[in-house]
Amino acid sequence: MITARGRVALGAGAAARWASRVTGRGAGAMIGGLVAMKLDPSILGQLGSGRRSVVVTGTNGKSTTTRMTAAALATIGPVASNSEGANMDAGLIAALAGSRRAALAALEVDEMHVPHVSDAVNPSAIVLLNLSRDQLDRVGEINHIERTLRAGLARHPSAVVVANCDDVLVTSAAYDSPNVVWVAAGGGWSGDSVSCPRSGEVIVRENGHWHSTGTDFSRPTPQWWYDETNIYGPEGFTAPMTLALPGTVNRGNATQAVAAAVALGASPAAAVAAVSTVDEVAGRYRTLQVGEHTVRMLLAKNPAGWQEALSMVSSDVAGAVISVNGQVPDGEDLSWLWDVNFEHFVDFPAPIVSAGERGTDLAVRLGYAGVEHTLVHDTLAAIKSCPPGHVEVIANYTAFLQLNRELA
């Protein structure tokens, strides 16, 4: 039920969105949500009331998993979702206000916003993907994020927590929750969880299992998991899973999306079929023609994300462009460049081009990695500098957005 004040706030937000669009300042979702929230601070809770919502969070994979969760939930009813990735309060308000009749919601939420967003919308399920260092100058130290999430989950004991048991920090955040669905979604990046978040002692990993040497804390037995061909779930459920999106990491994302949808009543088989249709997420993974080049665009924002993106880069290409900015949304501290295994590109059979506003920083890192490369700051010009054919572009957040705008 929306109050009279809430209706006024939403009307003012809609007017702000319209003004943003007609003046060419953008889609207006953020400004519309900000205006509505300013006029009625309780509007997020009002919009979330009466819906069954799934909150999706983690350092990497939020947008993809949210899109997959929305697709899976759509098998049981209309779904509201912030599909373009505006994952803080204003973006959530805009998404929910735009689909007021939808009884279901799939909401991507920034890790640090999960506790108060959950307090507002009282989600039926919370999906925890992974936790690793990301934008240290904005988000802060990773163990602090884990403790913040743990405290937030404690206030919602009735929510189903769909947690990646391969991620030590996620497991710690969810460990005390009374209603957890454990998913073996993969944990390729372990550099931020060498010690136990609960005792400080060493985490030992062997044969796909892990445990703490300092307390009774170990990898739970998963209820959902996947392999190269199938997805597996409770009560002997097995189904082929062929995704439109590349990479092992997206098989993990899909498995968590299916588990969340099933927790809300979706048919497992229908949910698997739905997640398999997702083929693009806000421009990520899309392939487009740029003159003599066919360009595939990959987004990476932190060491864990870069590791996954690099694993998707094909060696059968005419060139690879790596574009890095250092704006506030990216995190201005680029020290993470030294944690990324750019040695992956040593002896790469095609030209490597360093690009972006911080292309020089990247070029220094590539030089120390022993990777032959050229430096072309403009990303579009960097693509055009490659021989004709297929070019892989890996870019961080604002570099990715800039290139999308230039190619629109």
Average pLDDT over residues 101-125: 95
Task: For residues 6 and 28, give the distance between their C-alpha atoms in angstroms, rounded to a whole number.
Answer: 19
Sign of CA dihedral 125, 266, 236, 67: negative
Cβ burial, residue 280 (10 Å; 0-12/13-18/19+): middle
* Token pair recorded at residue 240: 């082929």
The DSSP-derived string for 162-182 is EEETTSHHHHHHHTT-SSEEE
Cβ burial, residue 279 (10 Å; 0-12/13-18/19+): exposed
**How much is the pLDDT for 46?**
94
Contact yes or no for 298/284 (Cβ under 8 A): yes
Q: Provide the 3-class DSSP secondary structure of residue 19.
A: helix
**How much is the pLDDT for 255?**
98
Above 90 in pLDDT, residue 207?
A: no
**How much is the pLDDT for 139?**
52
**How much is the pLDDT for 136?**
53
Task: For residues 288 and 242, give the distance between their C-alpha atoms in angstroms, rounded to a whole number.
Answer: 23
- Report the phi/psi class of residue 85: left, alpha or beta, with left for phi > 0 and alpha for psi in -120 to 50: left
Above 70 in pLDDT, residue 137?
A: no
Q: Which segment of 181-195, 316-330, 352-366 scores lowest on mean pLDDT?
A: 181-195
User: How does pLDDT run across 91-111, given as a tens digit for each residue?
Assistant: 999 999 989 999 999 999 999
**How much is the pLDDT for 282?**
72
Cβ burial, residue 385 (10 Å; 0-12/13-18/19+): middle
Above 80 in pLDDT, residue 184?
A: yes
User: How does pLDDT run across 331-349, given as a tens digit for each residue?
Assistant: 788 888 888 889 989 999 9
**How much is the pLDDT for 134?**
63
Above 60 in pLDDT, residue 27?
A: yes
Residues in a beta bridge with 374: 353
- Report the phi/psi class of residue 293: left, alpha or beta, with left for phi > 0 and alpha for psi in -120 to 50: beta
Q: pLDDT band for position 300 (50/70/90)? A: confident
Above 70 in pLDDT, residue 135?
A: no
Pairing of strands 125-128, 160-164: parallel
H or E segment to which residue 54 belongs: strand 52-57
| Higher pLDDT pick, 25 / 268 | 268
* Domains identified in the chain and CATH numbers: 42-275 (3.40.1190.10), 287-407 (3.90.190.20)
Place of tokens 């009282």: 122
**How much is the pLDDT for 359?**
94
**How much is the pLDDT for 253?**
96
According to the per-residue pLDDT averaged within each range, which of 29-33, 219-223, 324-328 is highest? 219-223
User: How does pLDDT run across 211-240, given as a tens digit for each residue?
Assistant: 898 788 899 999 999 999 999 999 999 999
Average pLDDT over residues 124-149: 80
Tell me, rounded to whole angstroms, the distance of Cα 129 from its chain centroid. 8
Task: For residues 91 and 334, give the distance between their C-alpha atoms in angstroms, rounded to a whole number.
Answer: 27
Q: pLDDT band for position 312 (50/70/90)? A: confident
